[in-house]
C-alpha cells in the first residue's frame, strides 16, 4: 500500500485541500489492515473525487483503492473492482462487443462510487445494470454482499448514502452485460457530453451541482399556468420532475460568475471553478442560485455534490 502524510486530495473541482493521511490500498487484506490500524479515526473513502466539494483540509485518513481489475463471471456478468474507472470499463466492454452500460459513457469516477451514487445519464442508471455490490464492513471487517434490492437505489441515491453511510466500503460491483454492438451509441454520447460538459482535468467541476427536484402534481399544475413552457415529467408517487437546469436558467444564472466560481454557460446545472475559486465561492454561488429558484418558483433544489 502507499501512504502519504499531509497529501493533496485528488478532486475534480480543483480545490487545494490536504489530508492528514492519504492511503491507497491494493488488496482486500491491505484494506482490512488499514481499517484495523486506523480504527476510530475519521476517514473518508474516495474514488476520483468527482462528486465532492472539499470545504477544508481533511483531518483524518483519506482512503483510495488501487484495485482496478475486471473479470467475466459468465457470459453476461462482469465483476469490477472498486478502483476501476467506470468509463475505462465501459470502453473495454464496448471494444469486446458487449452492451448495457454504454449510455453511462464518460461519466467520471470509479466503479465503487457508481453504486454509491447510482450514477445515471440518458435514461439509464447504474441500478439498471447492477446485479450486486460486494462490500466490507468497516467495523467487523466482514464481507457482505448487497443484492440490487438491498442497495435501495433511488435517484442518485443508495443505502450507502444514508443508513449505511461510512459503514461499508464497496469493494467490487457485479454488472449485467449482454453481447451487442454499442460503439455507435457510446461515440454519440461522448460527443454530446463533450459539447455540453466541462472536460475533467481542464475545467474544475463536479458535474451537475444540483439534483432535479420532484414536486407534487398540484404545485406543478399551478406553475404550468404561470410558465406554460416549463418542462415537466410525471414520475411515480404523484410527483412531477422539473429539470433544475431549466429553473436555474430561468433565473438568469447561465454564465454568471461569483468570485472564481461560474455557472457553466453550456449547462447551467454545472458550477465550475473558473478562476482559482475557493470552496466559499462555490458555496456562495450555489446558495444564491438555490435562493433565487426558491424565490421565483417556490421550489427547493438540493445539491447533488457532497460537501466535505
Catalytic residues: 156, 208, 304
Rounded Cα distance between 11 and 7, Å, is 12
Q: Helices marked H in the chain — which ranges? A: 28-37, 86-95, 111-117, 126-129, 183-196, 217-226, 244-250, 279-297
Binding to ligand FAD (CB under 6 A) within 150-169 occurs at 156, 160, 169
Q: Dihedral (C-alpha) 119, 123, 126, 131: value to the nearest 10 degrees?
A: 170
CA nearest neighbour of 256 among 247, 248, 265: 265
Q: Pick from 1, 70, 124, 200 the residue near ligand FAD by CB under 6 A.
A: 200
Phi, psi of 306 (to 5 degrees): -85, 125
The nearest distance, CB 106 to ligand FAD, in angstroms, is 8
C-alpha cell at 173: 460491483
Rounded Cα distance between 242 and 305, Å, is 18
Residue 74 CA, chain-centre distance (Å), reads: 28
Q: Does 62 bind ligand FAD (CB under 6 A)?
A: no
The nearest distance, CB 10 to ligand FAD, in angstroms, is 8
Question: What distance, in Å, lies between the first and last C-alpha atoms of the chain?
Answer: 24
Does residue 130 come out as left (phi exceeding 0), alpha (psi in the -120 to 50 range) or beta? beta
Q: Does 170 bind ligand FAD (CB under 6 A)?
A: yes
The nearest distance, CB 206 to ligand FAD, in angstroms, is 5
Residue carrying the nine cell digits 472536460: 199
Q: Does 303 bind ligand FAD (CB under 6 A)?
A: no
The nearest distance, CB 113 to ligand FAD, in angstroms, is 3
Q: Pick from 23, 52, 173, 286 the residue near ligand FAD by CB under 6 A.
A: 52
Binding to ligand FAD (CB under 6 A) within 26-45 occurs at 44-45
* 270-273 and 204-208 strand pairing: antiparallel
Which residue is at the shortest CB distance from ligand FAD? Answer: 47
Q: Pick from 17, 21, 80, 119 the residue near ligand FAD by CB under 6 A.
A: 119
Q: Does 50 bind ligand FAD (CB under 6 A)?
A: yes
Q: Does 78 bind ligand FAD (CB under 6 A)?
A: no
34 burial (CB, 10 Å; 0-12 / 13-18 / 19+) is buried
Q: Does 273 bind ligand FAD (CB under 6 A)?
A: no
Binding to ligand FAD (CB under 6 A) within 79-108 occurs at 82, 107-108
> For ligand FAD, which stretch binds (CB under 6 A), given 20-28, 178-186, 197-205, 235-243?
197-205
Q: Pick from 22, 53, 98, 120 the residue near ligand FAD by CB under 6 A.
A: 120
Q: Does 268 bind ligand FAD (CB under 6 A)?
A: no
Q: Does 213 bind ligand FAD (CB under 6 A)?
A: no
Query: What percent helix, strand, coil does the chain show, rounded to 5?
Result: 30, 30, 35
Q: Does 172 bind ligand FAD (CB under 6 A)?
A: no
Residues that bind ligand FAD (CB under 6 A): 12, 44-52, 82, 107-110, 112-114, 116-117, 119-121, 156, 160, 169-170, 197-198, 200, 205-207, 306
Amino acid at each position: 500500500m502507499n501512504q502519504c502524510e499531509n497529501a493533496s486530495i485528488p478532486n475534480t473541482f480543483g480545490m487545494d485541500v490536504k489530508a492528514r493521511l492519504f492511503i491507497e490500498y491494493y488488496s482486500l487484506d491491505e484494506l482490512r489492515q488499514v481499517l484495523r490500524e486506523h480504527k476510530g479515526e475519521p476517514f473518508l473513502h474516495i474514488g476520483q473525487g468527482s462528486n465532492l466539494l472539499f470545504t477544508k483540509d481533511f483531518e483524518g485518513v483519506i482512503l483510495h483503492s488501487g484495485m482496478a481489475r475486471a473479470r467475466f463471471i459468465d457470459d453476461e456478468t462482469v465483476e469490477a473492482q472498486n478502483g476501476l474507472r467506470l468509463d475505462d470499463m465501459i470502453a473495454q466492454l464496448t471494444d469486446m462487443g458487449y452492451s448495457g452500460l454504454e449510455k453511462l459513457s464518460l461519466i467520471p469516477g470509479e466503479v465503487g462510487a457508481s453504486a454509491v451514487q447510482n450514477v445515471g445519464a440518458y435514461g439509464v442508471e447504474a441500478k439498471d445494470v447492477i446485479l450486486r455490490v460486494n462490500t466490507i464492513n468497516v467495523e467487523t471487517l466482514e464481507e457482505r454482499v448487497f443484492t440490487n434490492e438491498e442497495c435501495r437505489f433511488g435517484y442518485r441515491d443508495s443505502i450507502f448514502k444514508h443508513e449505511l453511510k461510512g459503514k461499508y466500503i464497496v469493494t467490487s460491483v457485479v454488472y449485467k452485460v449482454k453481447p451487442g454492438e454499442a460503439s455507435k451509441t457510446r461515440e454519440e454520447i461522448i460527443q454530446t457530453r463533450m459539447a455540453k460538459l466541462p472536460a475533467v482535468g481542464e475545467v474544475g467541476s463536479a458535474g451537475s451541482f444540483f439534483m432535479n427536484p420532484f414536486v407534487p402534481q398540484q404545485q406543478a399544475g399551478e406553475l404550468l399556468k404561470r410558465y406554460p413552457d416549463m418542462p415537466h415529467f410525471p414520475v411515480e408517487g404523484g410527483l412531477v420532475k422539473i429539470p433544475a437546469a431549466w429553473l436555474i436558467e430561468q433565473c438568469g444564472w447561465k454564465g454568471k460568475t461569483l468570485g472564481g466560481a461560474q455557472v457553466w454557460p453550456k449547462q447551467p446545472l454545472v458550477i465550475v471553478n473558473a478562476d482559482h475559486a475557493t470552496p466559499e465561492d462555490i458555496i456562495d454561488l450555489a446558495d444564491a442560485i438555490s435562493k433565487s429558484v426558491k424565490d421565483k418558483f417556490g421550489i427547493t433544489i438540493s445539491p447533488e455534490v457532497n460537501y466535505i
